[in-house]
Amino acid sequence: MPSLESSYHAFGLDIGDRSIKAVDLQYNRLVFGKPRLELSTWNEVRVPDGVFSPGRVEQAETAAKLLRAVVRTATPKAIKTRSAVVSLPETTTFIKTIEIPKVESERIGDEVIREAAAHIPLAFEEATLDWQLLPPLPGVTAAERQRVIVAVAPRELVENFSTALEAAGFTILAVEIEAIAIVRGLLIEILSQNDEAIAVLDLGASRSNVIIYDQGTIQLTTSLSFSGDVATAQIAEWLKVSLVEAEKAKVSCGLDPARCGNRIRPVVAGILRDLIEDVRAATLAYRRGNPGGHRVRRILLAGGSANTLKIDSYLAQKLLTRVSRGNPLGGLTIPDKFPRERTASFTTALGLARRAARFLPMEASGHMNSV
């Protein structure tokens, strides 16, 4: 994958099955002598059914039109640059933390390839691989080996998306796995404590994932049996209303027994039952598979369905863990026009834009190195 090591200005581009989101960050002033990033431009366009399938562009011409539209019709102004940092869908990618011998910098790439080959669930010639050195674990003295996080995607997937983006007139400065963008967007490197693991529930329209972050890196990602669109459809069927009305009810009434005559809460609670079991299973699998890891003591919510009323307190009660909505706007200047009620939906795009703006220092930025 191409790496973001240039002076070109770029924006974050989150391509999903149901929507495409774009975010552009600009440095606008100094705060305590340091540059301050501003959310300069943003947009979201809906994607008709059939344009994308999981991990593939199916209708290239329509996709190109949508990609051009997301920058042309952005708020409050069009995005001028065509250089983008783009995410890859989580269902088709793979993340693994490995250890390699401590070697000279020019030999690190070769060692990563050698060790990663034993862990990649693809033939090596069919894969595209990125890597990033990780800092030593807290309290661990210098050793003969060093930790590396490796991100792998099918080469066909990367080439398929690259072709569509180039046809739309974009230059790809970096392609990044969604989980890495989400972690950066929520500033988890800064929020995390040495004695706890943090889980992120990314509750999207067509798919959802849990990401477990511990010991300075992403330790686990797994898909969840929850879809915001399916939840909305079930509410619509239960109430005999349109999908638009059901979506409004999901967000504004949600799990609050005092709203909508308590008609929505039982439906949403039933929908979340499998999600809760999936999260329990994921955290248990992480503890069993990583005896040296920490217990998940905090859960952050991202994605559009994180806006469901009272979902944070409901999940906290069921999972016996602190749960809150993540804040991908931390450290940014936010214009009044930005729709804050949509913040959770822009988490991935904001994480990509932070990388594009080189907001974080290299050791905490999630920048990856191509091999």
Q: Cα–Cα distance between 51 and 41 in angstroms, integer?
A: 25
Residues 319, 270, 308, CA angle at the centre, nearest 5°?
Answer: 70
**Radius of gyration, CA atoms only, the chain:** 20
pLDDT for 222 beyond 60: yes
Q: Provide the 3-class DSSP secondary structure of residue 146.
A: strand
Long-range contacts of 231-238 (CB under 8 A, 24+ apart): 231/268, 231/271, 231/305, 234/267, 234/271, 235/264, 235/267, 235/268, 238/267
Residue 142 binned pLDDT confidence (cut-offs 50, 70, 90): low
Lowest mean pLDDT among 17-31, 61-75, 84-98: 84-98
pLDDT for 204 beyond 50: yes
Query: What architecture is the 1-96+149-187+328-363 domain classified under in CATH?
Result: 2-Layer Sandwich (3.30)
Nearest CA-CA partner of 149 in 115, 172, 173 = 115
Q: What mean pLDDT is predicted for residues 217-239?
A: 91
Report phi then psi at 87, rounded to 5: -100, 155
Lowest mean pLDDT among 2-16, 189-203, 341-355: 2-16
Query: Is the CB of residue 129 less than 8 Å from the CB of residue 152?
Result: yes
Q: Provide the 3-class DSSP secondary structure of residue 262.
A: helix
Asked if the peptide bond before residue 76 counts as cis, ω within 30 degrees of 0, the response is yes
310-324 pLDDT, tens digit each: 999 999 999 999 999
Give the chain's length. 371
Residue 32 binned pLDDT confidence (cut-offs 50, 70, 90): low
Strands 83-88 and 171-177: parallel
Q: What are 364's strand-pairing partners?
A: none
Q: Provide the 3-class DSSP secondary structure of residue 331.
A: coil
Predicted TM-score of the model (pTM): 0.87
Q: Cα–Cα distance between 180 and 108 in angstroms, integer?
A: 21
DSSP H or E stretch at residue 12: strand 11-15
pLDDT for 3 beyond 80: no
Domain with CATH 3.30.420.40 in the chain: 1-96+149-187+328-363, 192-326
DSSP H or E stretch at residue 37: strand 34-46
Predicted local confidence at residue 2, as pLDDT:
40
pLDDT for 354 beyond 90: yes
Lowest mean pLDDT among 6-20, 169-183, 218-232: 6-20
Choose between 183 and 127: higher pLDDT.
183
106-140 pLDDT, tens digit each: 899 899 988 888 887 777 778 888 888 887 776 66
Q: What are 148's strand-pairing partners?
A: 98, 133
Predicted local confidence at residue 310, as pLDDT:
96
pLDDT for 151 beyond 50: yes
Predicted local confidence at residue 362, as pLDDT:
31
Nearest CA-CA partner of 134 in 143, 125, 126 = 143
- CATH T-level topology, domain 192-326: Nucleotidyltransferase; domain 5 (3.30.420)
Predicted local confidence at residue 365, as pLDDT:
35
Residue type, 86: V
Q: What mean pLDDT is predicted for residues 197-212?
A: 93
Nearest CA-CA partner of 82 in 4, 3, 168 = 168
Q: Cα–Cα distance between 261 and 76 in angstroms, integer?
A: 39
Scan for tokens 């974009």, then name that residue: 170
Lowest mean pLDDT among 20-29, 104-113, 138-147, 302-311: 138-147
237-251 pLDDT, tens digit each: 999 999 999 999 999
pLDDT above 90 covers a percentage of the chain that reads 56
pLDDT for 348 beyond 80: yes
Predicted local confidence at residue 68, as pLDDT:
97
Task: Write out the two tokens for 370.
Answer: 């191509």
